[in-house]
Amino acid sequence: MKNQNITKKLFYSFATASLLSLAACSSDDEPTVKETSKIEIKDFAVKVAAGDTTLNFTASGNWRAALSSTSWIQIDPMTKAGSKGDAKIILNWNAHTGITPRSAELSISVENEAPVVILITQLPNEPIVVVNKTESLLNINPKADDGRGAFCDTLTIQSNVKWSVKEQPKWVDYEVIGTTEPQEGVPTTIQLVVKGKPAAFNAPVMKGNFILGKSGEASLDHTVELQTVSELNVFSAENEEQPLSKVILRSSPEAGGRFVGRMVVKANTAWSILDMPEWAATISTDNSAEYANKLITRKTVSFELKEDFLDTEGFNQTIRIRDEKTGLQSDVELVFEGTGNDYFESKLAFPPDFIFDASVYTPSFDYVEGAILDMDFDMVSARDYNTLEEAPFEFFFLHTNEIVIFQQQVYWAGVEMAPAQTRAALNTKKLTLYVNDRQMDFSDENKNVQRSAYMVVAPKGTLFDDLFDPATGELKNEFFLSSRLVRQKPVAKELPEADIPSEVNFAKEGGKQTFGVKNFDMIAFKIDGNDAGALGNWISFEFDDMSNITEVSVIAQPNTSGKKRSSLIEIMYFDLATSEESVIYSFKVNQE
């Protein structure tokens, strides 16, 4: 704490001194001198930083101190007032963040004396504009503009003056994050987002100066050198980190054997494909739709060989992926290497969810002799053949429950030859897929359940076990991708029918009553909840023919008990598909 001891001197004349000397020896009417406070504090200034000081003086009586402003400087409450004698005032002030000086008046009042007023001034802060960087490469932020993406960067500005953007390139814009605004004399930290305008880009690299500062004070100017880079890159569809210069169209099981190739184009520009060859097709020739919604785009482009050029010769053509605005370009060689003698391709026209009927001819498909239900499809191959044995491929039908593919063949479906057509150097053969009539298929274990199989097309000479991965026992992916699920509906259930009334009555002598029935091959009888064959039952049943039941007889034994009796008869049906047993008929049998 700093002490300021300033004493105001009292000057006395020799005459006054003599009078005082005489007064010490004179009578009561001798004159007296009034005592005055010793306060000799001058105006002073304090530093920008927070601090304190102590002012010392001597008071001739009771005193009190006060400040004209207490917003930045205060008197210690214990030193605001006092009595006669040595006195002190302790002042505390806050740090000054403004860029103009501020002041307050300290008034010291002693009783019977005029107040002493001291001016206290605090020095101002230096004006500053500080930016966290001097150069900025505007990168693409995929989340900017609600996910659209933009070239942008964030600048952090610290200042205590009202600054503004003095200069900016025409291809950028900016906005303040939040609602903070620069204020004169108030230290503030502001986040400023600088964004490029995509519509203004016309070169791979754009450069410019972004200048901010205080108007009329060039010394506070701060320049940020802006740069943005446009990109157009082509990568492998299998490895998007690997640059690509060649796309080879190959036969793909996933594409039904068609010759296809893929690439991935990543860019922050609007591109299009130029110089497409007549022998290849693609539905993706530019990224205009993607670029309209998002500045940074990733697009998979698939190429397919046109059928009219599916022959044994190869083709190649260099295509250009180009942004006409910036001049960016990537060249890619598109290659079709031709087909070999063992090449074949499936043209399975039927939809994945098609289900064959159980036993009714399907009129929407051509009937082939020897087939019950059938459907035509095409096979294209480089080899000509007249029988399936001569074809470069063969078919397997694998048992499945549509969840698991079992390592087990089924024989209720097959393929037959149909008349062939020839196109160019490749041969198109029409084949027919067929399934058996379930009503007549005696190998069908359960006609009332839908059955399914996977039809697999494999190169000629493929063994059945070669279709499966020996480590996992699962169908290999190359065969699964080219397979097609074949399903057949169940045979409609024929539930038992009977003309038995709800009550059957017998005389006490007993007897037999016969009723007509249908489809009674999977039924059982219960009497009062017990099996019909249990001992002690007075009712029994008789069938006309165990293999083709058309009649059933209810037989009652003579009643010798002397009392009327009755029992509830239930006809139980056993469902082979679900292994569930249910009551389909019930009737009462009464006897006098």
Of the two residues 335 and 7, the one the predictor is more confident about is: 335
Query: What confidence tier does 444 reach under pLDDT thresholds 50, 70, 90?
Result: confident
Query: What confidence tier does 258 reach under pLDDT thresholds 50, 70, 90?
Result: confident
Query: What pLDDT shows up at residue 352?
Result: 66
Query: What pLDDT shows up at residue 12?
Result: 26
Res. 50: pLDDT tops 80: yes
Asked if 144 and 233 count as a contact pair (C-beta separation under 8 A), the reply is no
* 2-29 as b/e: b if 16+ CB within 10 A: eeeeeeeeeeeeeeeeebeeeeeeeeee
Query: What confidence tier does 467 reach under pLDDT thresholds 50, 70, 90?
Result: very high
Res. 422: pLDDT tops 50: no
Res. 469: pLDDT tops 60: yes
Residue ranges in 3-46 assigned as alpha helix (H):
14-23
Q: Among the ranges 302-316, 412-426, 455-469, which has the highest mean pLDDT value?
A: 455-469
The string of pLDDT tens digits covering residues 217-249 is 898 899 999 999 999 999 999 999 899 999 999
Query: What pLDDT shows up at residue 338?
Result: 87
Cβ neighbours for 199, distance < 8 A, ≥ 6 positions apart = none
Q: What is the mean pLDDT of residues 59-65?
A: 95
Q: Tokens at residue 579, please?
A: 């292994």
Task: Give the long-range contacts of residues 526-530, CB within 8 A, separation 24 or more.
Answer: 526/569, 526/570, 526/572, 527/567, 527/568, 527/569, 528/567, 528/568, 529/568, 529/570
Out of 23-37, 170-184, 458-472, pick the least confident.
23-37
Half-sphere exposure of 382 (CA within 13 A, CB side): 14
Q: What is the mean pLDDT of residues 143-152?
A: 79
Length of the chain: 592
Query: What confidence tier does 476 reach under pLDDT thresholds 50, 70, 90?
Result: very high
Query: What pLDDT shows up at residue 376?
Result: 81
Res. 6: pLDDT tops 50: no
